[in-house]
Amino acid sequence: MRSVQNVPLFYPVVFLGLAASSIASSFAATPAEKPAASLDLTLSTTQASGGSADGIAVSYAYTPATPAAAPVTLQLDTLEPGLERSTDQVADLVLSDDRGALPIGPALVRKDGPRSLQTWTTTRAATGVVHVSYRMHVAPSRPKKRGPQVDLQAAGGGISGGYVGVLALPDIGEASFKTRVHWKLAPGAMGVSSYGEGDYAGSFTADKLLGTLFLAGPVKTFRPRGQAKDAGLEIYGLGVTQEQVQAAGGWAAKAYAAELKGFKLEGNRAYRYMIRSFDGVANPSGRAAEHSFMLYVPPGQSPDTTELHYTVAHEMVHSLARNLAKEDIEGDWYTEGLANYIALTVPDAAGLYTPAEYLELVSGQSAGYYTNAKRSLPNSALPAVVWSGRNAWMLPYNRGTLYLADLDAKLKAHGAGISVLDLANEMSARMNAGAPEDHSTWLAVLSKRVGSWAVQDWNDMMDGKLIVPAAGAFGPCMHATKEDVRIFDLGFASPVRLTAGASIGGLVKGSPAERAGLRDGDVLEASVDINPMAESLDKPVVLKVTRGGKAETISFDPRGGSQPGVRWSSSCVR
């Protein structure tokens, strides 16, 4: 079982509870409204000489909110720190306005809080409507960094990603664009995004627009029988078969219904589950957005497996519940921990996991926490180490999951009459009403609905105190037994992600990897998804490497030392 890697790009998901059809609106401003900028955007695929999709062409007409002539600055997210641009750069950038060609200065990079932006500024004031066009090649399928699934990728004869990966937008601060999006595609191809199939219109801030996910090309589709368009969950895929899309959709539709019920949301809201598959990294991962999420599935893997069902349920939570602000990772104990916890417990309560599947999923979350060498770090220290390698990035996910399971069990033991899901619903309600998207709102909910003991437990978790789940955590069938566990450690410093073609470096002398025969300079022949091993108490790592032109297969137990932990069993597994 794996944690879902959903690395932040600092573009918040906005939850308005609106179907895509309700986003479209008249662009005529009332006298009380301030003038708004407009953006008429056209997107199309570009093709390589063989006819396969290899990039995107972007063009738009931008009308500023006020007619006063002024320089225009375009900005494009660098995608750091989760990703790193290489081939996916802006090319052939051309600007013009009512006076003709609009020259631009050199590209610069500037920091904007936790993110960094590549910018271009015109060298004279723009007059009237500004026309912008450029193209962008797809990113490498196996990038140096594998962060969230928003980079521009070729998949199944089309392209996919997030607008944050491809749009260089005019800088208008926190104001909104009155936006029209048009897909210009070959006959038989489809463009689908977080806001629907084909063209659409609406009012978007830059952050909200950049949060959009998309597929474009020969997209496979599935809608549950009897469901009207834009009235529930719909599945779209590139690089997967129609049969795979349909199989994945059956389970997802049931999980979506269960989560809507748990979060007390109406059941006719449009929701788009997009799948992309290409020859990339070994581990599946997802990215949530408003009304939608994107799942990456490695080639040869089915999206209809228990661990990917769990991934789907996790990503749905991000789109249905309010998240804490994700700056500096410090909100992930809630944002990712809640997604993990709900993805476990709500589908299980709906009968969507077998007892054996549920035991494996819970055991994976537990092992990821208890075998983590950094588990005692306070939450405030995580931003400095979370991308340092090994399984450090998993810690806020697994810690948050165990904390919420322990809290739910204690709520029952105290006769509180409420659950973690109830507390999460109050969090969403408060944030929708304007409460801060930070820890203070959680503390306010705990203080009002639970009491001082719950506040103290939260402080202990944030300080890095070891969590030992109370009886009843994860449900009445689940039972935790205390035992010492070994600490997960691959035994080498690089690569952080085990991607084909990468070389082993920083091998620790005397480590299990070194004793098994691994050497500095060995080249990985195949990518390895490390998550199943990092979320296990005993699974070995198997590496296929070449050394001096000779192939080697090296297997070792990536663990050593010991520290207090837990092993799970289930009385419901027969």
**Taking 70 as the threshold, does the pLDDT of residue 22 lie above it?**
no
Instruction: State whether 451 and 337 are in the same domain.
Output: yes
Instruction: State whether 27 and 148 are in the same domain.
Output: yes
Instruction: Name the burial class of residue 538, with classes exposed (0-12), middle (13-18) and buried (19+) by CB atoms within 10 angstroms of its CB.
Output: exposed
pLDDT tens, position by position, 537-570 = 999 999 999 999 999 999 999 999 999 999 999 9
Instruction: State whether 411 and 501 are in the same domain.
Output: no
Instruction: State whether 47 and 120 are in the same domain.
Output: yes
Instruction: State whether 142 and 186 are in the same domain.
Output: yes
- What average pLDDT does the segment 491-515 reach? 91
Instruction: State whether 346 and 420 are in the same domain.
Output: yes
Going by pLDDT thresholds of 50, 70 and 90, the confidence category of residue 499 is confident
**Taking 80 as the threshold, does the pLDDT of residue 253 lie above it?**
yes
Read off the CATH number of the domain in which 337 is found. Answer: 1.10.390
Lookup result for tokens 């690395």 = 7
pLDDT tens, position by position, 344-367 = 999 999 999 999 999 999 999 999
Instruction: State whether 248 and 299 are in the same domain.
Output: yes
The DSSP bridge partners found for residue 104 are 122
As given in the structure block, the two tokens for residue 6 are 């959903």
pLDDT at 124: 96
3-state secondary structure of 524: strand
Going by pLDDT thresholds of 50, 70 and 90, the confidence category of residue 34 is low
Instruction: State whether 215 and 86 are in the same domain.
Output: yes
Read off the CATH number of the domain in which 544 is found. Answer: 2.30.42.10
3-state secondary structure of 268: coil
Per the domain annotation, does 196 fall within a domain? yes
* Domain limit, last residue, from 429, 447, 477: 477
d(CA 480, CA 246): 37
pLDDT tens, position by position, 137-182 = 999 998 877 778 899 999 999 999 999 999 999 999 999 999 999 9
d(CA 218, CA 215): 9
- Structural contact between residues 506 and 514, judged by C-beta atoms closer than 8 angstroms: no
CA triple 172-163-96, angle to 5 deg: 55
Instruction: State whether 378 and 506 are in the same domain.
Output: no
Within a 10 A sphere around the Cβ of 54, how many other Cβ atoms? 18
Instruction: Name the burial class of residue 350, with classes exposed (0-12), middle (13-18) and buried (19+) by CB atoms within 10 angstroms of its CB.
Output: middle
Count of structural domains, the chain: 3
pLDDT at 300: 86
pLDDT at 389: 62
- What average pLDDT does the segment 222-244 reach? 90
Which range, of 223-232, 332-341, 368-377, 448-457, averages the lowest pLDDT?
223-232
Radius of gyration, CA atoms only, the chain:
24
Instruction: State whether 312 and 333 are in the same domain.
Output: no
The DSSP bridge partners found for residue 217 are 190
Per the domain annotation, does 119 fall within a domain? yes
Instruction: Name the burial class of residue 138, with classes exposed (0-12), middle (13-18) and buried (19+) by CB atoms within 10 angstroms of its CB.
Output: buried
Which range marks the domain in which residue 207 is found? 20-316
End-to-end CA distance of the chain: 20
Instruction: State whether 58 and 195 are in the same domain.
Output: yes
Give the mean pLDDT of the chain: 90
Lookup result for tokens 């408003």 = 290
pLDDT tens, position by position, 420-438 = 999 999 999 999 999 999 9
**Taking 50 as the threshold, does the pLDDT of residue 454 lie above it?**
yes
Handedness of CA 344, 533, 462, 113 (dihedral sign): negative
Tell me the C-alpha to C-alpha distance, in Å, between residue 531 and each of 2, 284, 484, 487, 497: 5, 10, 21, 14, 10
